[in-house]
Amino acid sequence: MVQNKRDKQQEERFGDPVVEMQQCSALHMNEKLAEKRLEILFTYNEPDETEYFVWCKGDVFGVQKNKKVHIQWNKEYLHKEGSPMTCEWLLKTQYNKNTLGAWCMFNSD
């Protein structure tokens, strides 16, 4: 139910109703973040140039000391040319926000 509401709001470019379920502050960039599931907000363009926002889900499998994490993305979020594994910045200032590049821990509820 929450996921359906969230999908509808994403389509309408409204906020994320799951924000209240997040912890107040970002996790520290250390090995405790490894093997956690998270989401990052990206934009994608359709062939007709329509831009849309998508919260992409993936699993952290490595953490660097410079606020970068290695992520294995869920297959449903990959483009044809996209890599199933990428290295992404996780800035504390972008934690639990609703802007491009924002990130949060994945809640399956």
Q: What is the pLDDT of residue 1?
A: 46
- The set of residues, in sequence order, having a beta carbon less than 8 Å from that of 109 and lying 6+ positions away, is 2, 21
pLDDT of residue 29: 57
- Distances from the Cα of 79 to the Cα of 33, 73, 83, angstroms: 25, 11, 8
In the chain, which residues have pLDDT < 70? 1-31, 80, 107-109
Q: What is the pLDDT of residue 73?
A: 92
pLDDT of residue 6: 59
pLDDT of residue 49: 87
As beta bridge partners, residue 77 has: none
